[in-house]
Amino acid sequence: MAVRDKTIISTGYNGAPRGLPHCLDIGCARKGMKSGTHPELCRATHAEQNVVANAARMGVSLFGATIYIKDVPCVLCAKILINSGISQVIVKGCEYPGYKDSIMMFSKACIEVKRLIPTGGLILIDIKLFGR
């Protein structure tokens, strides 16, 4: 979900391109493979990429927007989000494989990644914490 000025300006979810059958309906070619591996085999697009695509479809700029995501995005999504012009990423968790690489990429692009904490509030996820 992309937000600017307390307003939702775009949303996206993991799914097949418009008009194509979803993996849940006809099965996924990645079935049985480890999470985060061989994304090219799956017909679904990641929610983060769909946020950007849906914004483009409607002519909405994501420049300066904050993105809310369940987990730190994969590296592919991180690259696309960086180039969309977003300024901040807020996540619930850090469970996606390769999330450290994504955080490092955001860090180098001067985009803050913050984590929602269950008790309320946000903490900055600092790449320095990972010793890289």
CB of 119 to Zn ion, least distance (A): 28
Binder to Zn ion among 1, 28, 104, 116 (CB under 5 A)? 28
77 binds Zn ion per the rule CB under 5 A: yes
Rg (CA), the chain: 15
42 binds Zn ion per the rule CB under 5 A: yes
CB of 102 to Zn ion, least distance (A): 9
104 binds Zn ion per the rule CB under 5 A: no
Are residues 107 and 127 in contact, defined by beta-carbon separation less than 8 angstroms?
yes
Residue 66, C-beta contacts closer than 8 angstroms, at least 6 positions apart: 2, 3, 4, 86, 87, 88, 89, 90
Stretch that binds Zn ion, among 1-9, 60-68, 76-84, 113-121 (CB under 5 A): 76-84
Place of tokens 């418009």: 18
